[in-house]
Amino acid sequence: MSDKKDLGQQAFCEPETPIEWLETNAEDDYSGGLPETPVADTEVSVRVSSTPKKKGFIFRNYDKLDVTKKNAIAGYLFISPFIIGFLAFMLLPILESLRMVFSEVNINWDRGRYALEFVGLRNINYVFRENRDFNRLLFTELRNMALNVPAILVFSFFVSLVLNQKFKARGFVRSVFFLPVILSAGIMLGLETSNSLLRESQQLIQESNAMSSAITGVLEEILVSGGFMGDFVEYVLLVVNQIYNIALTSGMQIIIFLSGLQTISPSMFEASKIEGATAWESFWKITFPMISSLILVNLLYSIIDYFIRSDNSVMMEVTRLMSVDLKYDLSSAMAWSYFAIVIVVVGALSAIISRRVYYYE
């Protein structure tokens, strides 16, 4: 009776759920089948895999910086060779030349040394009042700068617009227009002036153009005579006659303008074309405002580049006083005075033009 009672209770008891049955069978089938992994080893392995790699001291927090700070760091790394070279080789001579401005340099040729005697503003007074060439040369260079820099900007902007178009062999043409940057280097200028073959070819070109220059001279006289338009035509003819020098000094400006044109989104031109704008309207409403910040950059670059050229008459006068007359005090005073005037011109033009510049992000 007891056996039947147990069987009856077993028959009428609640059946096991599938999950309980699976857990029971899994324990029965696989108990002892696999070796148990020690808990301590598992914790150690997890701890080692989750440990981050250590970075250097400089780049420890680099990933946490925003894009602006990362770009600033990259910029400082790019200019760090110049900063190191300036501090190592140029800072002390610049400070010494500034001391010579207010001193009289007495050279001891036997010992190969020099002594400085403070004289105040005597050297500055000599540059602006007693020297008859400095004021004349300075005025001439300022006038030439005012005439040449606008022509350089217009020429480089026009060439960059052409080079920004799609045509065959565009890369080769761009490299050709970049050649003036290489040709304007000091070594190439020295080769150009010292090479007899180049001088002879230049003389042949001038002789062959002698007849044509006589004819064009008559045309220039006819076009120039005529008031305001005559002055404008004279300026245009002056620019045309100096097209070689303008092209020679426009290589870097072309690259800067071209890089700015390539940053303008094509969708802006597509939207203006859909709205019915012409190419002329798109140029003045989109291209010119978006490139205006680079116009200021190229203006300042062109002014500074023109003032420090090797064929600049003021720079040649400073070199003559230093290397021929051996008047280091007067040459330093003239150089620093010239530098101050250049800074004033650059600052004034930058303050005036920056108000009309459009900046965008």
Calpha distance 343→354 (Å, rounded): 16
Calpha distance 270→277 (Å, rounded): 10
Residue 298 lies in a domain: yes
Residues 76 and 151 placed together within one structural domain of the fold: no
Calpha distance 29→76 (Å, rounded): 68
Residues 215 and 290 placed together within one structural domain of the fold: yes
Calpha distance 353→158 (Å, rounded): 20
- pTM (2 decimals)? 0.66
| Percentage above 70 pLDDT, the chain | 67
Task: Look at phi and psi of residue 89 and say left if phi exceeds 0, alpha if psi is from -120 to 50, else beta.
Answer: alpha
Residues 200 and 344 placed together within one structural domain of the fold: yes
Calpha distance 360→268 (Å, rounded): 14
The model's confidence at residue 213, banded by pLDDT at 50, 70 and 90, is low
Calpha distance 123→330 (Å, rounded): 6
Residues 225 and 342 placed together within one structural domain of the fold: yes
- Strand duo 113-118 + 103-108: pairing: antiparallel
Residues 225 and 174 placed together within one structural domain of the fold: yes
Residue 112 lies in a domain: no
- Please give the residue that has the higher pLDDT: either 251 or 8: 251
Residues 137 and 276 placed together within one structural domain of the fold: yes
Residues 339 and 211 placed together within one structural domain of the fold: yes
Residues 284 and 342 placed together within one structural domain of the fold: yes
Is the pLDDT reported for residue 176 higher than 50? Answer: yes
Residues 207 and 347 placed together within one structural domain of the fold: yes
Residue 36 lies in a domain: no
Residues 76 and 217 placed together within one structural domain of the fold: no
Contacts of 315 (CB under 8 A, 6+ apart): 308, 309, 338
Q: What is the 3-state secondary structure (H, E, C) of 230-267?
A: HHHHHHHHHHHHCHHHHHHCCHHHHHHHHHHHHCCCHH
Contact, 172 vs 243, CB < 8 A?
A: no
Residue 288 lies in a domain: yes
Note the pLDDT of residue 87. Answer: 92
Residue given tokens 């902007």 in the structure block = 157
- Looking only at Cα atoms, what is the longest distance across the chain? 144
Calpha distance 265→286 (Å, rounded): 10
Residue 46 lies in a domain: no
The model's confidence at residue 84, banded by pLDDT at 50, 70 and 90, is very high
Helix ranges, the chain (H): 2-12, 18-30, 39-49, 67-85, 91-101, 122-125, 132-163, 170-183, 186-194, 196-208, 210-224, 227-241, 243-248, 251-262, 266-274, 279-282, 288-307, 313-323, 328-353
Residues 160 and 272 placed together within one structural domain of the fold: yes
Arithmetic mean of pLDDT, 247-257 = 85
Number of neighbouring beta carbons within 10 Å of residue 264: 15
Calpha distance 223→212 (Å, rounded): 16
The model's confidence at residue 110, banded by pLDDT at 50, 70 and 90, is confident
- Structural domain of 85: 53-90
Note the pLDDT of residue 81. Answer: 93
Is the pLDDT reported for residue 11 higher than 50? Answer: no
Which of these three, 38, 72, 90, is where a domain ends? 90
Residues 85 and 140 placed together within one structural domain of the fold: no
Number of neighbouring beta carbons within 10 Å of residue 160: 25
Calpha distance 17→92 (Å, rounded): 91
Arithmetic mean of pLDDT, 248-268 = 86
What total number of domains does the chain contain?
A: 2
Note the pLDDT of residue 308. Answer: 83
Arithmetic mean of pLDDT, 31-35 = 49
Q: Name which of 30-34, 205-209, 301-305 the model is least confident about.
A: 30-34
The model's confidence at residue 22, banded by pLDDT at 50, 70 and 90, is very low
Treating both helix axes as pointing N-terminal to C-terminal, what angle do 91-101 and 328-353 enclose, rounded to 10 degrees? 110
The model's confidence at residue 80, banded by pLDDT at 50, 70 and 90, is very high
- Please give the residue that has the higher pLDDT: either 46 or 130: 130
Residue 299 lies in a domain: yes
Which of these three, 63, 90, 117, is where a domain ends? 90
Residue 102 lies in a domain: no
CA distances from 350 to 134, 250, 301 (A): 25, 20, 11
Arithmetic mean of pLDDT, 315-324 = 87
Please provide the average confidence, as pLDDT, over all residues in the chain: 75
Residue type for position 78: F
DSSP 111-126: TTEEEEEE-TTHHHHI
- pLDDT tens digit string along 113-151? 888 888 888 888 888 888 888 888 889 888 888 888 988
The model's confidence at residue 30, banded by pLDDT at 50, 70 and 90, is very low
Q: Residue 188: is it exposed, middle or buried by C-beta count within 10 angstroms (0-12/13-18/19+)?
A: middle
Residue 291 lies in a domain: yes
Contacts of 147 (CB under 8 A, 6+ apart): 235, 238, 239
Contact, 128 vs 134, CB < 8 A?
A: yes
What CATH number corresponds to the domain at position 147?
1.10.3720.10
Which of these three, 66, 90, 114, is where a domain ends? 90
